Structure 1
């Protein structure tokens, strides 16, 4: 397992710890010109949950892998928070915003892996 795939698993665990839903991992590694190797996309049902998921992802990556994001955008409005780990971009949406931007369709050439929700 590469460091990048371990990072994706750690991010997924952070999302699940805060009950993030509908997680999709988009593998962009074979797409020329892609801005990252992976997107991890999920959603929270409220602004507070979106922020809590972002904090959990950052905390899990820091504690388990000594990884810190190079950038975080969207904190404060909490409709869409993007966390940049260079090789992996994490997108945490509220449902309406996720539907509007539809990143899964935008990167339709990517291999998509859907992670089952944990209740």
Structure 2
């Protein structure tokens, strides 16, 4: 029997997957009162294109395995790899190369009070 996890538990699983594969500077932003795009954004950095792919694969695999087969509704950037986005509707995982994360500055946008 599959156990249905809360959004917060799903976000925690995704974050743990990133930590396990050495994602850097992992941040979770609660957007419930700031945006209608998603309830949470998870942002993480990687040092290389292969590491971004590894991080994306780990998040997808972990959620599919441990969250009742949960899969992203949409994936962007897997081919280019500089910014990979995994959209799970209620939360979105953003994976960047270090320099691209700095360039796009999502942290500055969502870290405001």
Give the aligned CA root-mean-square deviation in angstroms: 1.3
C-alpha offsets along residues 10-60 of structure 1, whole Å, 9 cap, x if unaligned?
1011111211010000000112x4300000000110000001000000000
Equivalent of 1:52 in 46, 51, 54: 54
**What secondary structure does 2:60 align onto?**
helix
Equivalent of 1:96 in 92, 96, 99: 99
Equivalent of 1:23 in 15, 23, 26: 26
Q: Considering Cα pairs closer than 8 Å and 6+ residues apart, tell me whether 1 or 2 has the greater RCO.
A: 1
Structure 2, unaligned runs of 5 or more:
none
Q: TM-score, normalised by structure 1?
A: 0.86
Q: Matched residues in 2 for 1:25 and 1:15: separation?
A: 12
| 2:88 is the alignment partner of 1:85 | yes
Per the alignment, residue 117 of structure 1 pairs with none
| 2:16 is the alignment partner of 1:13 | yes
Conserved? CA contact 2:29–2:111, under 8 Å: no
How many residues align structurally? 108
**What secondary structure does 2:52 align onto?**
helix
Q: Matched residues in 1 for 2:62 and 2:26: separation?
A: 16
Q: Matched residues in 2 for 1:88 and 1:36: separation?
A: 5
Structure 1, unaligned runs of 5 or more:
111-119
